[in-house]
Chains A and B, each alone.
Chain A
């Protein structure tokens, strides 16, 4: 019989991750367009809107770049955690706490000048996000508590905490009852880099670049970073090699929290200039998709963060132009992740038609 058989590959497929992503994208777009057709929307026109909204033209690219900033920051931390086999899915809550921390700094020291305000704001965001992530890490290390569920519950609690603040003590008395703080002072607003050439692209992009370089140096050039890369693959081997596994887990989770906190700070300060619940749009969950797609290659994280940000922007245009519900984005992301997971099979296995030897 010449039935195909599954054989393990000796070496991973060359350029595999990009082929797999391309195939996954085709499958996901196919399924999603079929759903659109069911919903009575023209699928081909929708694809065109999705493309032109996210990637077609300078204005679209600007939007996409802006959205990829928070996604990139969250994804870096999640990717490092996943590499350690730490299933930290709490970037969403850490993002919320980062926004809260930054806002606390602004409301507490409203008269600081720009050069002092920015570091204080980012520091408070990183501490708040980092601590929010460190608690599940400690619970896991000390009590063996499942970090998937604790980080997820911390997402719900963190978002509700943000709401508690903006509906209550932090509500702007002049906001006509809308849940939002008053607008930040000028010194607390992250401005555009160069309005003439780069439009609305703000200094958050520079923060991303700085963080990426620091992280790359840390992973490639320091002992701890090397241990992290080596230890993550196999915790037991790491323990035999006397690597400080517990310390690494705590470090990685806090780092992820701090980076997600940065993202929350940037969204609050640069995008809406105040704290309001509408900043919570699920970047932390998109980060899971990006982190899994790109593993721990920083350039891939940037690339996939940009692609998924573009899909999000495209979906917003679908919403405006064709009245497609915003949830369409969730379908796309879920389908992409599922089909990439399935496709990665071909990274490790191949089919052969030869008979048994």
Chain B
């Protein structure tokens, strides 16, 4: 194998790695939105997940404890959004923004004493047999456990939505809560589940950053990935398959940017750092121009008024 091929393969493998946290967060937000709730707090839940994952792993030495803590804390934070929007009928857009402000503040505040400390986290291991497939093996099967877990999520997501009764109920709460209510379901209760699951996955996305992508905690380590996830849900037309494509697209750009910097490309770092954000605007523009917004769940962002 010559140099160029090896370099390309290593960038593609890094693409999968950088795309994984975004994939978790995107699927989580997609789940929440399919239940009819817009939660713009992804960035906040992700950073809280990143910190709690680091802290739990630092204390117990077991990265899986970190993943669980991240999921529970991300989900716990999302419940505040549930309290504001499902109980108190607050505006979903502003509540999500507040959740992001709060989450970034919390993680930074609690995490300040731990900045720069390293932890064990997850290590890469080759999957037997599959890792030996030429090209694909190198790109997809020489990663850590959280990446392999993320491969299972999109098909599970699709199966759940398309083939199960709870999935149908979730979609009903997002498309037509009144009809769901008339069918004897409780759309409010379903939306609680939607919100918590979304927060749980966003937390795990954050955990990936502090336990596998790096093995340490730094402030602001999500750097807008949560917002990219919110954009990708629209880009993906609320479908898990396209979410995979979107997440790896961004993973690719981030991997390329890091590689160029490492190779000492003669470009100011601030311009390189702009790339993912500019790309977000572009992909969103492309999907909006194709009428992407029409694929949104019909009752997305609309609160369910209490019965009198």
Contacts and interface: CB of A to CB of B under 8 A. Distances in A.
Contacts of A337: 94-95, 97-98, 101
A154 B270 CA distance: 14
Interface in B257-296: 268, 270-271, 273-274, 277-278, 280-281, 284-285, 288-289, 291, 293
A330 B285 contact: no
B137 interface: no
A204 B7 CA distance: 54
Interface stretch (A193-201, A299-307, A339-347): A339-347
Interface string A285-328: 10011001000000000000000000000000000000011111
Interface string B91-106: 1011101111111111
Contacts of A349: 89, 306
B33 interface: no
Contact of B109 (A167, A331, A342): A331
B12 interface: no
B224 interface: yes
A342 B291 CA distance: 34
Contacts of A324: 109
Contacts of A327: 104-109, 112, 219
Contact of B308 (A5, A148, A164, A348): A5
Interface in A116-170: 139, 143-146, 148-150, 152-154, 156-157, 160-161, 163-164, 167-168
A338 B271 contact: no
Contact of A338 (B84, B281, B307): B84
A146 B101 contact: no
B136 interface: no
B106 A338 contact: no
Contacts of B224: 153, 156
Contacts, number: 156
A164 B278 CA distance: 15
A26 interface: no
Contact of A341 (B90, B293, B308): B90
A152 B97 CA distance: 11
A160 B288 CA distance: 25
A35 interface: yes
Interface in B63-89: 80, 83-84, 87-89
Contact of B108 (A288, A292, A325): A325
Interface of B is mostly: helix
Given A6-B308, A338-B80, A341-B90, A164 B271 contact: yes
Given A292-B94, A325-B109, A338-B95, A330 B102 contact: yes
A329 B101 CA distance: 10
A42 interface: no
B202 interface: no
Given A152-B227, A153-B227, A329 B105 contact: yes
B110 interface: yes
B278 to A, nearest CB: 6
Interface string B28-52: 0000000000001000100000000
Contacts of A164: 268, 270-271
A267 interface: no
A341 B101 CA distance: 14
Contacts of A144: 288, 291, 293
Contacts of B84: 338, 341-342
**Interface residue range, chain A:** 35 or more
Nearest to A292: B94
A338 B112 contact: no
A139 to B, nearest CB: 6
A348 B274 contact: no
A161 B274 contact: yes
B95 A341 contact: yes
A5 B268 CA distance: 61
| Most chain A beta-carbon contacts within 10 A, residue among B80, B97, B227 | B97
A265 B278 CA distance: 25
Nearest to B296: A146
B230 interface: yes
A164 B273 CA distance: 10
Given A156-B274, A160-B273, A143 B289 contact: yes
Pairs of residues from A and B, 7 with the lowest C-beta to C-beta distance, nearest first: A330-B105, A334-B102, A327-B108, A341-B90, A337-B98, A331-B105, A334-B101
Interface of B: 40, 44, 80, 83-84, 87-91, 93-95, 97-110, 112, 219, 224, 227, 230-231, 234, 268, 270-271, 273-274, 277-278, 280-281, 284-285, 288-289, 291, 293, 306-308
8 contacts: A87-B93, A144-B288, A145-B284, A149-B230, A149-B234, A331-B102, A341-B94, A342-B84
